[in-house]
Amino acid sequence: MITEQLINTAQALVANNKGLLAMDESVGTCNKRFAALGIPQTVEMRRSYREMIVTTPGLGESISGAILFDETIRQKKTDGTPFIKVLLDGGIIPGIKVDMGSKPLAGFPGEKVTEGLDGLRARFADYSEMGARFAKWRAVMAIGSNIPSRGCIEANAHALARYAAISQEAGLVPIVEPEVLMDGAHSLQKCLAVTKEVIYTVFDQLYKQHVSLEGMLLKPNMLLPGLAAKVQDPENVVAESTVKFLLGAVPAAVPGIAFLSGGQSAELASARLDQMNKQYKAVLPWTLTFSFGRALQQPALEIWRGDNSNIPAAQEALYHRANCNRAACMGNYNNAMENIV
């Protein structure tokens, strides 16, 4: 059942031109990023890195919520203060990634489906008791030769909708993340065609599973050409294509749309979000904001590199990126901001 608390939380997550910090990398993903920078891949180093993030001074000025991973939501600062308390004290709403990752979809070579529905109700009870107030589930679909198939899209949309229904039942706002991957040489128009089918199918399933749209957020990809595409459309074209598509696909009852960064550079992700709000903010029925992972964290991670003496500079870089994206939510971002660190 939808409650006033769910609606209030969903609205708070997209209020005041703030966005979400996705710090929910799995152990494997986090270790991979550490390895690339020569950082030891240990529990303590992951804890230390996440402590650097959650203790960044002023982070709550631009970040409304932080998506945590199962390992991270249980961790504490060196002095014993739980990360959840640190976030709440900083005015940031804690959330939790609950999917178990994408696995090969039987009968569909080269395609995947996200798993994690088994036991989800019990896990939600635990996370809610810890203090989580929203959740996230990511489904990934690649563009390739004859993929994504209808079967893959429907399987992922159904799982997303069932997750969202269980999340609302538990009193947590579900962030619904259907991601069409940037990998490949496809055009923006191909991305549009696939994303349109994906989003329409997701909302069809959300209706069928009785998910209340007022108490959820959508986390989609922007409409972009593949990373290997010869033509990389300019920011204004990306903005126009993405917003016009979303206006026809996403019901006005949804409080907000928080874009994933999906492999974009930090600067490009900010610039594209800025163009959307600069051109269309006044006429949008929902808030357009960000839910970035790498596009927020990577500059700070490259500075930190596992050395605590680098924490102040790394935190400054994270604070700066968050501010840039808040400016993008207002349509006030510009390249000159990148020279002010």
| Calculated CA dihedral for residues 46, 176, 300, 14, nearest 10 degrees | -130
Catalytic residue among 219, 230, 240, 338: 219
Closest by CA to 4, choosing from 214, 310, 206, is 214
d(CA 330, CA 334): 11
Phi, psi of 240, deg, nearest 5? -65, -45
Q: Is 167 exposed, middle or buried (0-12, 13-18, 19+ CB in 10 A)?
A: buried
Give the Cα-Cα-Cα angle 171, 176, 178 (nearest 5 degrees). Answer: 165
Check: CB of residue 37 under 8 Å from CB of residue 305.
Answer: yes
Tracing tokens 């608390």 back to the chain, one arrives at: 5
Pairing mode of beta strands 287-292, 19-22: parallel
Give the Cα separation of 239 and 245 in Å (integer).
Answer: 10
Do strands 256-259 and 19-22 pair parallel, antiparallel, or not at all (unpaired)? unpaired
**Catalytic hit among 177, 179, 196, 281:** 177
From the CB of residue 16, how many other CB atoms can be counted at a distance below 10 Å? 12
DSSP string, 59-99: GGGTEEEEEE-HHHHT-B-TTS-BHHHHHHHTT-EEEEE--
Q: Is 284 helix (H, G, I), strand (E, B) or coil?
A: coil
The reply to whether 71 belongs to the active site is no
Say how far apart CA 126 and CA 150 lie, in whole Å.
35
Residues 6+ apart with CB under 8 A from 142: 110, 111, 112, 148, 180, 181, 183, 184
Residue 214 annotated in active site: no
Catalytically active residues are 177, 219
